[in-house]
């Protein structure tokens, strides 16, 4: 069962590995990222950053969609990590179980503007966000589980 789908450009880091994992009882982290799936050094670093009793699967977007839809994984408590809004659209289009996307951290980059203290979006992100909203997805911002939800649709 997918407990949370999170956009965080840092992917696996302390806030995710300890705060979210313990709060949601996560036993499997899925990093869905085409570039990192091919980078052995990044995969090793993420393996070191995760809690010891939690499984880590780092896969391409396409493989992540297959994995998340596979019936065997329904007994796991999964946290899906994606590093950008475009990849979130791809994953949510491919996995109907996902009804909500947490925006956890997207750093400022050229052409972006902050919509919250930890989320920076570009003009190119807005149509993608609107597609996800029109699809009926809840798009919420929280860095940690105890934060009050802020809804992206109210901030763009």
Domains of the chain: 2-154 (3.40.35.10)
pTM of the model: 0.94
- Which residue, among 22, 24, 32, has the nearest Cα to 4 in the 3D structure? 24
Q: What is the pLDDT of residues 41-80, one digit of tens each?
A: 999 999 999 999 999 999 999 999 999 998 666 789 999 9
Q: By the 8 A CB rule, do 59 and 68 touch? A: no
Confidence (pLDDT) at 73: 66
Instruction: For the chain, give the number of residues.
Output: 156
User: H or E segment at 130?
Assistant: helix 125-134
Confidence (pLDDT) at 145: 95
pLDDT under 70 in the chain at which residues?
Answer: 71-73
* Other beta carbons within 10 Å of 53: 8
Confidence (pLDDT) at 130: 97
Beta bridge partners of 121: 113
């Amino acid at each position: 069962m997918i407990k949370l789908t999170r956009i965080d450009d840092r992917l696996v880091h302390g806030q995710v590995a300890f705060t979210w994992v313990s709060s949601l009882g996560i036993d499997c982290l899925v990093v869905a990222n085409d570039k990192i799936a091919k980078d052995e050094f990044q995969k090793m670093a993420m393996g070191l950053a995760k809690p010891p009793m939690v499984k880590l699967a780092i896969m391409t977007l396409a493989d992540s969609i297959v994995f998340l839809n596979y019936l065997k994984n329904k007994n796991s408590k999964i946290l899906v990590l994606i590093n950008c809004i475009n990849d979130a659209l791809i994953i949510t289009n491919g996995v109907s179980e996902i009804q909500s996307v947490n925006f956890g951290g997207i750093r400022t980059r050229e052409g972006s503007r902050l919509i919250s203290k930890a989320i920076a979006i570009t003009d190119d992100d807005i149509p993608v966000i609107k597609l996800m909203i029109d699809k009926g997805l809840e798009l919420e911002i929280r860095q940690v589980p105890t934060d009050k939800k802020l809804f992206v649709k109210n901030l763009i």
